[in-house]
Structure 1
Amino acid sequence: MSESLERLLWRRARPGGGGVLAVLYSFPHALGAPGIGWTAWNQANELVRAGVDVHIVAASVAKPVEGAASVRTTLAFRGRRVPHRLLGRDRALRYHDAVAAGLVDRLLSAGSDEDVVHAWPLASVRTLQAARRLGIPGVREVPNTHTAHAYDVVAREYAALGLEPRRGESHTADPRRLATEESEYAAAAGLLVPSEAVAETFLARGFDDDRLLRHRYGCTVTMPPARDSDGPFTAVFLGRGSPRKGLHTALEAWTASKASAEGRFLVYGLLDEDYAAHLAPLLAHPSVEVRGVTSEPMRVLASADVMLLPTVEEGSALVTYEAQVAGCVPLVSVAAGAVIDEGVTGMTHEVGDVDVLAAQLDLLVERPEVLAGMSTAAMARADQLSWAAATQATLAAYGEAARLVRRSTDAAA
């Protein structure tokens, strides 16, 4: 690099500072599509808004990033998305990785000042290796816990419920996928972990803490719909209805709490058929309403007092950010990766701890002033939960990756 990333970041932070940081951002799916595509779009978009030259390499683009330095699609033809299944999922991901790796080499060999390679799972080993050859910090997004950990805990949860994991799903054990991800972990200079819950699963497997680059996610901060303070105490679950998300724990705690006597628990999201059958007695409780999928999550959150997410395994659930912005107090497991002030803007419990979650519900029902204070405190920190604020953490993580690369280069000299 013609100028170290650390120095560039320092100069950009100074009044009147100069220097332009450039990032090759590789995302092997539809950028801007729901799910991780939305996370990736917000990262790229806010990097551009922060003054970074962002070179996007995406399978396709569902939502353009205005002001990107360049955009290359790897699975699109004449502006239309080519489904991964048309080539075969693994082959499509390998092709994306090969194209992105080639661009790392070409852009840099042409004299460009690319300073960071930021890549996503399952299509990044060659891209990260190309960055390593050129002495460029290559960071790999880690949207969930270590994959081996995810496989283990999700399988145990299914077994405890007497259910079979769904074949082919991202959290069902797959040795080939695990091998791919482990090769990417090794190729990266640093791993972008969005929560301490994620970091701990890597530390438990012997990873050097220096390589775990803490950053975080965010949410779109808009004026939430007006809150209705006259209705009954309302809890909401918003997400995929599967054992991994812990809806069974939420239902057990809800029905055991005083809140279920006069309150209501609204369940939003697609429920797996076998899981829904297992939960049928709890879902039949008169205070529980199954609402299906919603296209207005912020309206749902603004209509509720608390959000329940006793997840078993997670990276850093975006709904926990959105809930706070909407003034809906998150009651979540420690595995949810939530960015909250304990007891001030939300509450946590250990995975599967029905008693603690029920007690938290009892507290907030019996002491509405505590609930109101937490809701107000959560909304007051909305700007801290924005994607713009998250980008500052990501830029700091890039700086840490640059220091790791420089330290490795100095040690080898």
Structure 2
Amino acid sequence: MGGRMRVLFSFPHAIGASGIGWSAWNQVDGLVRRGHEVHVVAASLARPVPGARVTTTLAAGRVRIPHRAIGRDRAFRVHDLAARALLRRGDYDLVHLWPLGTGATAREASTRGIPALREAPNTHTAHAWRVVGAEVDRLGLGEITTAHTADPVHLAMEEAEWEAATGILVPSDAVAESFAAAGFDRRRLLRHRYGYRPGTRRMHPRAVADPGGLRAVYVGLGEPRKGLHHALDAWLGSEASLTGTFTVVGRLLEPYRAHLADRLDHPSVRVVGFSSAVDAVLAAADVLVLPTIEEGSALVTYEAQGAGCVPLVSAAAGAVLDHGVEGYVHDPGDVAVLRDQLDLLAGDRGQLARMSEACLRHAPSLTWDAAAAALEDCYERAVVLAAGGSAPHDVFDPEETDRAVAV
């Protein structure tokens, strides 16, 4: 407790790749820099992890073997068995598991009395399917395939992983509540957070005096789950749309794009597609609009605050902020409230400037370094749980963690 830990970090995908691969890479990097000994077991390596020992399970030298080449489920099984073998041969204090294909490793850890934590980057899978499926049906989109399309085989894999793990790492209240609603003991729900990596660009708060209208931006995959349709409805129903701009950054799924065609054609809306320069996009905007209906904890909400861009997000987005201070929160699907929030900031540049300044003050507690401190705390609580004790806190207290990460 409180010292160097030997961690087996199982990630059955390409670590360092975009999406969850980037989150996992930053977790490992933060742990290494905090002095922990980390053995990464990944399907492949998209980015080197300095200071960590790395074993790849789906790669031949520097050549990655795609999961589809041998079948996704078989690939996950191959990874899981390789990680379990390493656990049997090694000497570890804790196992950190990402979905999918980590059930055998989790069971081996349980047999050996080693705490195993299973990452939950989104809400409980069955909950996510219900929410996203209902929205797709409501919009009349038919058979649109997304990462949250129901897959009973994968759900069974996840259920086995959750059952075998000592605890579940949950990055937001929304995720924690979805697992609690599914019957999970709250003592097993260990709250941590994700983060963002500050760039070299100097970020400034938004000016009180600005001759232009409100600059709003949506950043993310264009799919029903992310609520872009709600964002557009709120924007087009607002006074802000008369003088401002709404920029959509991200790839749009078909037939979702077709469903939104008339709204995307509005003169105030700009669609720019995918961009790798998210920090520049956020630095050029006043507000981030993300009315997601299901999420874990969207990394763009961390990045926005680091850029002084005020988040206007749903409660499902998993943003780490105080409502009315660094951003505004609305209930998922409440277009009217989001519209009013847009108009409020469009009409009160002083309030926008104050909230932008608050974002920049808050940003140091949202970095991946801060996230590593929170993750370290979860590791220590998992050791207590595995020994038959009770974790000091049922679910993460944001105020306490803000104090803990002030390092």
Q: Out of 254, 270, 276, which is 1:289 matched to?
A: 270
1:328-363 deviation per Cα after TM superposition (whole angstroms, max 9, x unaligned): 000000000000111100110000000000000111
Q: Out of 261, 265, 289, which is 1:280 matched to?
A: 261
Contact 2:109 2:115 in 1 (8 A): yes
Any idea what SS the aligned residue of 1:216 has?
coil
Report the Cα distance in structure 2 between the residues aligned to 1:47 and 1:398, rounded to whole angstroms. Answer: 11
Report the Cα distance in structure 2 between the residues aligned to 1:356 and 1:57, rounded to whole angstroms. Answer: 45
TM-aligned CA deviation for residue 170 of structure 1: 2.3
Alpha-carbon spacing, 1:21–1:218, altered in 2? closer, same or farther (3 Å):
same
Unaligned segments of structure 1, at least 5 residues? 1-7, 13-19
Report the Cα distance in structure 2 between the residues aligned to 1:165 and 1:223, rounded to whole angstroms. Answer: 43
Any idea what SS the aligned residue of 2:388 has?
helix
The answer for the alignment partner of 1:187 in structure 2 is 164
Structure 1 position 136 matched with structure 2 position 114: yes
TM-aligned CA deviation for residue 389 of structure 1: 0.4
Report the Cα distance in structure 1 between the residues aligned to 2:347 and 2:213, rounded to whole angstroms. Answer: 13
Contact 1:253 1:355 in 2 (8 A): yes
1:250-297 deviation per Cα after TM superposition (whole angstroms, max 9, x unaligned): 000001111101000000111112111111121121111111111100
Report the Cα distance in structure 2 between the residues aligned to 1:183 and 1:45, rounded to whole angstroms. Answer: 28
The answer for the alignment partner of 1:394 in structure 2 is 375
Any idea what SS the aligned residue of 2:99 has?
coil
Report the Cα distance in structure 2 between the residues aligned to 1:395 and 1:294, rounded to whole angstroms. Answer: 33
Kindly, what percent of the aligned residue pairs are identical? 55
Any idea what SS the aligned residue of 1:98 has?
helix
Structure 1 position 150 matched with structure 2 position 166: no
Contact 1:225 1:299 in 2 (8 A): no
TM-score (norm 1): 0.91
TM-score (norm 2): 0.93
Structure 1 position 84 matched with structure 2 position 67: yes
Q: Out of 208, 228, 236, which is 1:255 matched to?
A: 236
Any idea what SS the aligned residue of 1:273 has?
coil
Report the Cα distance in structure 2 between the residues aligned to 1:276 and 1:49, rounded to whole angstroms. Answer: 43
Any idea what SS the aligned residue of 1:358 has?
helix
Alignment of 1:227-238 (within 5 A): 229=207, 230=210, 231-238=212-219
Report the Cα distance in structure 1 between the residues aligned to 2:203 and 2:76, rounded to whole angstroms. Answer: 44
Any idea what SS the aligned residue of 2:100 has?
coil
Contact 2:250 2:274 in 1 (8 A): yes
Superposition RMSD on alpha carbons, in Å? 1.3
TM-aligned CA deviation for residue 225 of structure 1: 5.0
The answer for the alignment partner of 1:44 in structure 2 is 28
AA in 2 matched with 1:183: A
Q: Out of 120, 123, 144, which is 1:166 matched to?
A: 144
The answer for the alignment partner of 1:203 in structure 2 is 180
AA in 1 matched with 2:298: A
TM-aligned CA deviation for residue 386 of structure 1: 0.4
Contact 1:225 1:302 in 2 (8 A): no
Report the Cα distance in structure 1 between the residues aligned to 2:213 and 2:64, rounded to whole angstroms. Answer: 46
Structure 1 position 62 matched with structure 2 position 39: no
Q: Out of 340, 349, 367, which is 1:359 matched to?
A: 340
